[in-house]
C-alpha cells in the first residue's frame, strides 16, 4: 500500500472515530435528558462516564445545568424555567406522598448503609411526630393499607432511581392487611444517589427563621433561583439558559409565554439556538410563527408519547384532530367545552370502538376517556385547561388530518374486513 | 499451656480485681526489679519505686495489697530478718517479697499481650534487606573450602529470627488491612494522613519486595544443593550444646534438630520460591498489599460522602416535607416537586413533520403541513396489524437465479482476465476490440496502475488490490496513440506497453 493510500485510510479511521465519539456523546446526552438521576446500572452510564467532561461543559454552557458524574452515578440538575407547569411531578404522587418521600429521604440520610421497610416506616412515623408537621395536619401511621401503600410507592420511586437497592424480600405483601407485620424488605442505601436527589439551588433548611420563604410561590423560586452575574453578558446568558432549558425539557415553547426581553432575544437567536441544540441532541426543530418545538423523530425522548398505540392514545389522536380542525376553521382563540369533547368521543365509539378496550366502549365511559385524553393533551402543551373546557393551543394543528394515503393491498384490506 | 488450674487462674485475678490499678502498679515494680536483677523488695521500697497515678496509697494499703498478691500466688514472701528501729515496726509482720514463678509468667504474658494490642500493622522493609544480606553471607560461607559451622549457625539463627519477625508482622498487616476498622471510625483528616502514609509505605515495601525477592529467590535457589550438609552440621553443633546424655540420645537429638532446621529452611524457601502449586508467601503478601489500596480508597470515599452536601440534607428534607404539607393543592405540590427534585424526563413531540421544502419560520402551525401519521395508527390505534403474521415466502427460485447470475458473471470475469493477463508485453494499440466485461477489467487495472504514476513518463509496476494480478505499464513516446474499441465507444490516449501476469500459477 502506498503512502497516499495509508494517509487516506488514516483520515478515514479518524473520521470514523470522530463520528463514533459524536454518536456516543449524543446517546449520553439524550440518556441524561431522560434520566437526570442515573445510577451506574443504566445502559448508557458507560457512555455518560466517558463523555462526562464534554457533557458537563455542554450542559453548563447551553442550559446552565450542573452535571455531576462519578463512579456510582450521574446527576443532571435540570432546574426548570417554567414553574407553572404542574404536569411534571412524579407520576401517581399527591401532596401526602411527596411529604412521605421527603421524610423517607430524611430518615435514609441519617440511616446506616442498610435499612428495612419496617424500620423505614417506623422512623418515618417518628419524623411525623415533629410538631411543625403535626401543625399542618399531617398524620402517618402504618395501620391502614392505604398508608402502607403510600410507603411502598415511595420505596418504589427510590428503587426506580437507584437510591435504594433491594437486597432481600419484597414490598408486595406489605400492603395487605393480613400479615404485613411479617413481610419486610431489606435495602442497600446508595448514599451518592440519595445525596443527588435534592436538586435545589439552596437547601430549604439553610434559610434563617425570619427570611424563610413563607408561601409556595416564594418557595418555588427559592429552590431554583441561582445567582446571575449582574452584567450585560450575565443577563444574556441567563436568558439563553432559560430558553434552552424549556426547549430541551418541554415539548413546545410558545412565544407569547415569554417576557418582552426574552421574546426579543428569542426572535433574534432562535434559529442558531435551535440548530445548536438539535445538533447535539438529535432533535428536529419545528419553527413556527407561534413558537418553537424540538421534536424527536424516534419518539424516545419523552414520557408522554403521541401518537402512540392503545385506546387512550388513539382517542387522544382523534380529539387532537378534532380540535385542530376547529382551530383551523376559526383561526382565533377558541373555547371548547368538555361536554363537546365527550360527545365527540361518544360518536367516535361507533366508528372506532371495535378496536378499543371494552371499558372505554360502555355508555358513559366517554367522560372518563375525555379526562384522560385532555390530560394527555395538556401534558404535551397542546391545550390549556379552562373552566369547564379547554383552549386548543397552536401546536395541536400539527396533528390535523392530512390527506391520508391508504395504500391497501389485498392482505391489509382483508385484515380490515376481519 | 496444658491445664489451667485453680491456682493459675488466681494469678490473673489481680487484673480484674477492684483495686486493679494498685495491683498492677505493684506488679510493675516487681517486673522492673526483675529486669534490674534485684531479687526481693520490701513494702517501703515498693511504695517508693512504683509510679502511682494520683496520690500514693498508705503504707498499710500497700502491705495489704502485697499480702493479697502473695495469697493469689503472684508473689512469694518470706519474713524480713532485718533490724528494726521502732517497736511498732517490730510488732508488725514484716516480709520481703519477690515474684513467684507463676507471677513472672503472668507478667511476661501481660507484657506480650499489651505489645500485641499496641502493635501496628506494618511491613518491614529492613527485614528484607537483612534476609538478603544474611543469605549472601551464608552463600559466601558455603563457598569456602572448610565451612565455619559456628558462623553458619549464627547466620542461620539470625535469618530465622528476622523471618519470624517478618512473618509475624505480615500476619498482623494482613489482618489489620482486612479489618480496616481503624478507618471506619476515623475522621477525614486522620484518614487523609493515614492514606498518605499507607500508600507511601506500600509503595516502598512493594518496590523493595519486588526488587529483593528476586535476588533472594536466586540465592536460595543456589544454596539449595549444598544447604543440607550445613544444616546437618549446625544441628550437630546444637545437639552438643544441649543437655548431656549418652551417644544414642545425642544422635536422636541431632536428628531432631536437623529436622527442625530443615523445616525452617523450607519455610524460608516457601516465602520466596514457589512450592509445588502454592505461590510463595511474598507473592501473597504483595497481592494483599495491592488489595489494601482499593480498600483504603473505599474508606476515603465513605468519609467524603459523609461530608458531601453543604447543608444538612436530612434537615433539608424535613423542611421540604413541611413545604409540601403546606401546599394548597396537588398541582402546587407537583410544581414544587419539579423544582425540588428535577427528576422529570424530557418531554417532546414525536415524529417530525415531513416536508420536502423547509417551512419558513413565520408560518403558523395552522398553515404548516401536519404530521404524517401511520394510517393504521390513525384508523385503529395500532401501528402493526392484528392477526396472523404474513406467510414466509419461499425464495428458492430467486436464490437459484442469483447463484446462476453470479456464476455467469465470474466466468465472464475469468475469461476477461485470461484475455488480458497473458504475461506478455502488449501494446495498447494492439489490443483492438474489448467486450464490456473485458473493458471493465481493463479500466480497473489501468486505474490502479495510473494511481501509482507520479508523472506521465514513469513506468509503473504494481500488484492489484486483490493481489491476484501484476501490472506493468510503460509509456511510449509522446505522440503515440492507441485506440480501443468497446461496445460503449472508443477509448483512446497515449500508447503504453502493458504487461499483465497472474500471480497464481495455473489461475
Q: Looking at residue B371, what is its pLDDT?
A: 80
**Close Cβ partners of B113 (under 8 Å, ≥ 6 residues apart):** none
A368, part of any domain: yes
- B345 neighbourhood in chain A, CB within 8 Å: 33-36, 301-303
Bridge partners of B350, per DSSP, are: A296
B316 interface with A at CB cutoff 8 Å: yes
Task: Determine whether the interchain pair B316/A406 forms a contact, defined as Cβ–Cβ distance below 8 Å.
Answer: no
Determine the residue among A203, A281, A312 to mutate to test chain B binding: the one whose Cβ has the most chain B Cβ atoms within 10 Å. A203
Task: Determine whether the interchain pair B324/A98 forms a contact, defined as Cβ–Cβ distance below 8 Å.
Answer: yes
A188 interface with B at CB cutoff 8 Å: no
**Whether A305 contacts B350, CB under 8 Å:** yes
Position of cell 403510600? A150
Residue A307: cis peptide before it, omega within 30 degrees of 0: yes
Q: Looking at residue A69, what is its pLDDT?
A: 94
Quote ipTM for the complex: 0.90
**Close Cβ partners of B384 (under 8 Å, ≥ 6 residues apart):** B376
Q: Looking at residue A375, what is its pLDDT?
A: 93
What Rg value do the Cα atoms of chain B yield, rounded?
48
Residues A142 and A72 in one domain: no
Q: Looking at residue B335, what is its pLDDT?
A: 94
Q: Which of B71, B223, B60 is nearest to B152 (CA)?
A: B223
Task: State how far residue B183 is from chain A, nearest Cα, in angstroms.
Answer: 16
- A26 neighbourhood in chain B, CB within 8 Å: none
Q: In whole angstroms, what is the distance from residue A374 CA to residue A391 CA?
A: 11
Which among B332, B341, B381 is the nearest to A199, CB-wise?
Answer: B341
**Whether A220 contacts B335, CB under 8 Å:** yes
Tens-place pLDDT, residues A180-195: 777 888 888 888 899 8
* A287, closest residue in chain B (CA to CA): B361
Q: In whole angstroms, what is the distance from residue A291 CA to residue B358 CA?
A: 16
**Whether A174 contacts A117, CB under 8 Å:** yes
Query: Which CA distances in Å does A272 have to A251, B138, B399?
Result: 19, 82, 52
Q: In whole angstroms, what is the distance from residue A119 CA to residue A171 CA?
A: 13
**Close Cβ partners of A135 (under 8 Å, ≥ 6 residues apart):** none
**Whether A360 contacts A369, CB under 8 Å:** yes
- A314 neighbourhood in chain B, CB within 8 Å: 377, 380-381
Residues A109 and A147 in one domain: yes
Bridge partners of A285, per DSSP, are: A294
Residue A275 C-alpha cell reads as 440548530
Q: Looking at residue A3, what is its pLDDT?
A: 52
Q: In whole angstroms, what is the distance from residue A171 CA to residue A185 CA?
A: 6
Residue-wise DSSP of A241-297: HHHHHHHHHSS-EEGGGS-HHHHHHHHHHHHHHHHHHHHHH--EEEE-SSEEEEEBT
**Helix crossing, B247-272 with B188-223: angle to 10°?**
120
User: Region A36-46: what's the mean pLDDT?
Assistant: 93
Q: In whole angstroms, what is the distance from residue B437 CA to residue B311 CA?
A: 80
A374, part of any domain: yes
Q: Which of B243, B271, B239 is nearest to B255 (CA)?
A: B239
A201, part of any domain: no
Residue A276 C-alpha cell reads as 445548536
pTM: 0.57
Q: Which residue has the higher pLDDT, A131 or A413?
A: A131
Does an H or E element contain A315, and which? helix A311-330
Task: Determine whether the interchain pair A283/B348 forms a contact, defined as Cβ–Cβ distance below 8 Å.
Answer: yes
Chain A residues 126-145 within an 8 A CB cutoff of chain B: 127, 130, 132-133, 136-138
Given the DSSP bridges, would you call strands A37-39 and A185-189 parallel, antiparallel or unpaired? unpaired
- B361 neighbourhood in chain A, CB within 8 Å: 270-271, 287-289
**Whether B147 contacts B233, CB under 8 Å:** yes
- A199 neighbourhood in chain B, CB within 8 Å: 339-343
Of A44-48, A237-241, B164-168, B301-305, the one with minimum mean pLDDT is: B301-305
Q: Looking at residue A49, what is its pLDDT?
A: 94
* A34, closest residue in chain B (CA to CA): B345
CATH 1.10.10.10: which residues of chain B?
A: 2-117
Does an H or E element contain B374, and which? none
User: Cβ–Cβ contacts within 10 Å for residue A174, how many?
Assistant: 24
Tens-place pLDDT, residues A358-413: 888 888 888 999 999 999 999 999 999 988 899 999 999 988 865 555 555 544 44
State whether residue B469 is helix, strand or coil.
Answer: strand
Bridge partners of A377, per DSSP, are: none
Position of cell 549418652? B246
CATH number of B2-117: 1.10.10.10
Which among B342, B346, B350 is the nearest to A77, CB-wise?
Answer: B342
Task: Determine whether the interchain pair B338/A412 forms a contact, defined as Cβ–Cβ distance below 8 Å.
Answer: no
Q: In whole angstroms, what is the distance from residue B367 CA to residue B364 CA?
A: 5
- Containing structural domain, residue A161: 95-195
- A395 neighbourhood in chain B, CB within 8 Å: 349, 365
* A324, closest residue in chain B (CA to CA): B366
**Whether A306 contacts A373, CB under 8 Å:** no
- A353 neighbourhood in chain B, CB within 8 Å: none
Query: Which CA distances in Å does A314 have to A236, A338, A369, A396, B190?
Result: 43, 18, 11, 15, 64
Q: Looking at residue B362, what is its pLDDT?
A: 83
Residues A146 and A101 in one domain: yes
- pLDDT values of chain B reduced to their tens digit, one per residue, 507 residues: 444 455 667 777 887 778 888 888 888 888 888 777 777 788 888 888 777 777 788 888 888 888 888 888 888 887 776 666 666 666 666 778 888 888 888 887 777 766 665 555 455 667 777 888 888 888 888 777 777 888 888 888 888 888 777 777 766 665 655 444 444 444 556 666 666 666 776 777 777 777 777 888 888 888 877 788 888 888 888 777 765 667 777 778 888 888 888 888 887 787 777 766 667 777 776 776 676 666 666 556 555 555 544 457 888 899 999 999 999 999 999 999 999 999 999 999 987 676 656 778 888 888 888 887 777 787 777 766 666 666 677 788 888 999 999 998 888 888 888 877 777 888 888 777 888 878 888 888 888 777 777 887 888 888 877 777 888 888 888 888 888 888 878 888 888 888 888 876 543
Tens-place pLDDT, residues B22-32: 888 888 888 88
State whether residue B130 is helix, strand or coil.
Answer: helix
Residue B240 C-alpha cell reads as 552438643
Q: Which of B471, B459, B461, B477 is nearest to B499 (CA)?
A: B471
Residue-wise DSSP of A70-100: ETTEEEE----S-TT--S-S-TT--HHHHHH
CATH number at residue A346: 1.10.10
Q: Which of A67, A77, A70, A16 is nearest to A45 (CA)?
A: A70
Q: Look at chain A and report how many structural domains it folds into.
A: 4
Last residue of a domain, one of A245, A269, A295: A295
Which among B314, B377, B390 is the nearest to A109, CB-wise?
Answer: B314
Chain A residues 79-118 within an 8 A CB cutoff of chain B: 79-80, 83-90, 93-95, 98-99, 102-103, 105-107, 109-110
Q: In whole angstroms, what is the distance from residue B341 CA to residue A98 CA?
A: 10
Residues A322 and A393 in one domain: yes
**Whether B239 contacts B249, CB under 8 Å:** no
Of A150-164, A273-287, B147-161, B354-368, the one with minimum mean pLDDT is: B354-368
Residue A297 C-alpha cell reads as 423523530
Count of pairs with CB atoms under 8 A, one residue in A, one in B: 305
Determine the residue among A72, A157, A398, A400 to mutate to test chain B binding: the one whose Cβ has the most chain B Cβ atoms within 10 Å. A398
Which among B317, B359, B383 is the nearest to A106, CB-wise?
Answer: B317
Residue B117 C-alpha cell reads as 494490642
A46 interface with B at CB cutoff 8 Å: no
Residues A282 and A316 in one domain: no
Chain A residues 199-238 within an 8 A CB cutoff of chain B: 199-200, 203-206, 216, 219-220, 223-224
Q: In whole angstroms, what is the distance from residue A111 CA to residue A104 CA?
A: 10
Q: Which sign, positive or negative, has the C-alpha torsion B34, B38, B44, B50?
A: negative
A286, part of any domain: yes
Q: In whole angstroms, what is the distance from residue B81 CA to residue B95 CA?
A: 8
Of A16-25, A261-270, B132-141, the one with minimum mean pLDDT is: B132-141
Task: Determine whether the interchain pair A249/B371 forms a contact, defined as Cβ–Cβ distance below 8 Å.
Answer: no
Amino acid at each position: 500500500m502506498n503512502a497516499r493510500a495509508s494517509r487516506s485510510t488514516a483520515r478515514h479511521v479518524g473520521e470514523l472515530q470522530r463520528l463514533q465519539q459524536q454518536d456516543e456523546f449524543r446517546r449520553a446526552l439524550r440518556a441524561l435528558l431522560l434520566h437526570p438521576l442515573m445510577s451506574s446500572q443504566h445502559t448508557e452510564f458507560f457512555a455518560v462516564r466517558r463523555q462526562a467532561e464534554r457533557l458537563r461543559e455542554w450542559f453548563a454552557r447551553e442550559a446552565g445545568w450542573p452535571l455531576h458524574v462519578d463512579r456510582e452515578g450521574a446527576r443532571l440538575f435540570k432546574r426548570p424555567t417554567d414553574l407553572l407547569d404542574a404536569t411534571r411531578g412524579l407520576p401517581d404522587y399527591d401532596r401526602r406522598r411527596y411529604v412521605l418521600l421527603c421524610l423517607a429521604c430524611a430518615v435514609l440520610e441519617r440511616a446506616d448503609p442498610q435499612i428495612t421497610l419496617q424500620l423505614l416506616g417506623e422512623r418515618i412515623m417518628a419524623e411525623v411526630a415533629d410538631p411543625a408537621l403535626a401543625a399542618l395536619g399531617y398524620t402517618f401511621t402504618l395501620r391502614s393499607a392505604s398508608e402502607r401503600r403510600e410507603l411502598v410507592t415511595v420505596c418504589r420511586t427510590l428503587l426506580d432511581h437507584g437510591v435504594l437497592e433491594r437486597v432481600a424480600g419484597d414490598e408486595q405483601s406489605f400492603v395487605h392487611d393480613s400479615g404485613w407485620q411479617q413481610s419486610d424488605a431489606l435495602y442497600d442505601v446508595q448514599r451518592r444517589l440519595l445525596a443527588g436527589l435534592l436538586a435545589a439551588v439552596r437547601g430549604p433548611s439553610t434559610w434563617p427563621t425570619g427570611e424563610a420563604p413563607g408561601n409556595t410561590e416564594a418557595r418555588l423560586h427559592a429552590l431554583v433561583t441561582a445567582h446571575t452575574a449582574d452584567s450585560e453578558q450575565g443577563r444574556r446568558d441567563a436568558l439563553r439558559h432559560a430558553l434552552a432549558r424549556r426547549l430541551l425539557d418541554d415539548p413546545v415553547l410558545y412565544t407569547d409565554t415569554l417576557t418582552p426581553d426574552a421574546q426579543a432575544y428569542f426572535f433574534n437567536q432562535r434559529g442558531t439556538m435551535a440548530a445548536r441544540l438539535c445538533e447535539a441532541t438529535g432533535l428536529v426543530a419545528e419553527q413556527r410563527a407561534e413558537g418553537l418545538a424540538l421534536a424527536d423523530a424516534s419518539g424516545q425522548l419523552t414520557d408522554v408519547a403521541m401518537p402512540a398505540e392503545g385506546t387512550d392514545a388513539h382517542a387522544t389522536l382523534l380529539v387532537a384532530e378534532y380540535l385542530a380542525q376547529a382551530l383551523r376553521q376559526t383561526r382565533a382563540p377558541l373555547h371548547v367545552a368538555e361536554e363537546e369533547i365527550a360527545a365527540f368521543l361518544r360518536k367516535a365509539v361507533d366508528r372506532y370502538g371495535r378496536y378499543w378496550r371494552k371499558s372505554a366502549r360502555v355508555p358513559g365511559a366517554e367522560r372518563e376517556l375525555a379526562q384522560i385524553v385532555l390530560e394527555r393533551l395538556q401534558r404535551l402543551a397542546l391545550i390549556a385547561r379552562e373552566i369547564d373546557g379547554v383552549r386548543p393551543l397552536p401546536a395541536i394543528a400539527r396533528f390535523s388530518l392530512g390527506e391520508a394515503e391508504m395504500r391497501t393491498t389485498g392482505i391489509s384490506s382483508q385484515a380490515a374486513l376481519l | 499451656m496444658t491445664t489451667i488450674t485453680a491456682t493459675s487462674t488466681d494469678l490473673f485475678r489481680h487484673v480484674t480485681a477492684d483495686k486493679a490499678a494498685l495491683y498492677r502498679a505493684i506488679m510493675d515494680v516487681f517486673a522492673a526489679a526483675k529486669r534490674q536483677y534485684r531479687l526481693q523488695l520490701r513494702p517501703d521500697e515498693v511504695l517508693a519505686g512504683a509510679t502511682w497515678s494520683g496520690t500514693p496509697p498508705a503504707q498499710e494499703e500497700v502491705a495489704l495489697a502485697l499480702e493479697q498478691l502473695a495469697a493469689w500466688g503472684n508473689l512469694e514472701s518470706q519474713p524480713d530478718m532485718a533490724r528494726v528501729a521502732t517497736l511498732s515496726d517490730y510488732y508488725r509482720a514484716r516480709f520481703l517479697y519477690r515474684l513467684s514463678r507463676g507471677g513472672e509468667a503472668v507478667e511476661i504474658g501481660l507484657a506480650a499481650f499489651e505489645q500485641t494490642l499496641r502493635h501496628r500493622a506494618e511491613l518491614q522493609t529492613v527485614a528484607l534487606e537483612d534476609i538478603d544480606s544474611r543469605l549472601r553471607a551464608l552463600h559466601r560461607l558455603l563457598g569456602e573450602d572448610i565451612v565455619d559451622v559456628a558462623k553458619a549457625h549464627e547466620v542461620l539463627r539470625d535469618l530465622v529470627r528476622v523471618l519470624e519477625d517478618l512473618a509475624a508482622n505480615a500476619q498482623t498487616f494482613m489482618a489489620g488491612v482486612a479489618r480496616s476498622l481503624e478507618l471506619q471510625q476515623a475522621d477525614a483528616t486522620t484518614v487523609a494522613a493515614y492514606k498518605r502514609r499507607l500508600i507511601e509505605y506500600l509503595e516502598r515495601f512493594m518496590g523493595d519486595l519486588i526488587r529483593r525477592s528476586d535476588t533472594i529467590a536466586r540465592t536460595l535457589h543456589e544454596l539449595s544443593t549444598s544447604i543440607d550438609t550445613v544444616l546437618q552440621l549446625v544441628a550437630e553443633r546444637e545437639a552438643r550444646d544441649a543437655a548431656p546424655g549418652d551417644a544414642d540420645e545425642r544422635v536422636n537429638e541431632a536428628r531432631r534438630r536437623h529436622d527442625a532446621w530443615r523445616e525452617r529452611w523450607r519455610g524460608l524457601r516457601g516465602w520466596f520460591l514457589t512450592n509445588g502449586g502454592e505461590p510463595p508467601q511474598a507473592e501473597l503478601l504483595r497481592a494483599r498489599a495491592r488489595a489494601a489500596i482499593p480498600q483504603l480508597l473505599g474508606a476515603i470515599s465513605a468519609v467524603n460522602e459523609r461530608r458531601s452536601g453543604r447543608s444538612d440534607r436530612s434537615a433539608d428534607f424535613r423542611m421540604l416535607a413541611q413545604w409540601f404539607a403546606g401546599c394548597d393543592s396537588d398541582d402546587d405540590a407537583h410544581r414544587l416537586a419539579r423544582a425540588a427534585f428535577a427528576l422529570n424526563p424530557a418531554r417532546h413531540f414525536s415524529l417530525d413533520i415531513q416536508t420536502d421544502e423547509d417551512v419558513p419560520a413565520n408560518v403558523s402551525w395552522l398553515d404548516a403541513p401536519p404530521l404524517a401519521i401511520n394510517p393504521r395508527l390513525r384508523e385503529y390505534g395500532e401501528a402493526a396489524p392484528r392477526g396472523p403474521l404474513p406467510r414466509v415466502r419461499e425464495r428458492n427460485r430467486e436464490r437459484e437465479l442469483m447463484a446462476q447470475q453470479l456464476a455467469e458473471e465470474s466466468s465472464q470475469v475469468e475469461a476477461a482476465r485470461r484475455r488480458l493477463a497473458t504475461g506478455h508485453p502488449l501494446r495498447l494499440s494492439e489490443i483492438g476490440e474489448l467486450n464490456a466485461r473485458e473493458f471493465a477489467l481493463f479500466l480497473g487495472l489501468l486505474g490502479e496502475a495510473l494511481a501509482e504514476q507520479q508523472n506521465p513518463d514513469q513506468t509503473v509496476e504494481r500488484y492489484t488490490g486483490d493481489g491476484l494480478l501484476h501490472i506493468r505499464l510503460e509509456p511510449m513516446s509522446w505522440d503515440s496513440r492507441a485506440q480501443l474499441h468497446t461496445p460503449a465507444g472508443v477509448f483512446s490516449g497515449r500508447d503504453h506497453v502493458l504487461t499483465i501476469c497472474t500471480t497464481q500459477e495455473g489461475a
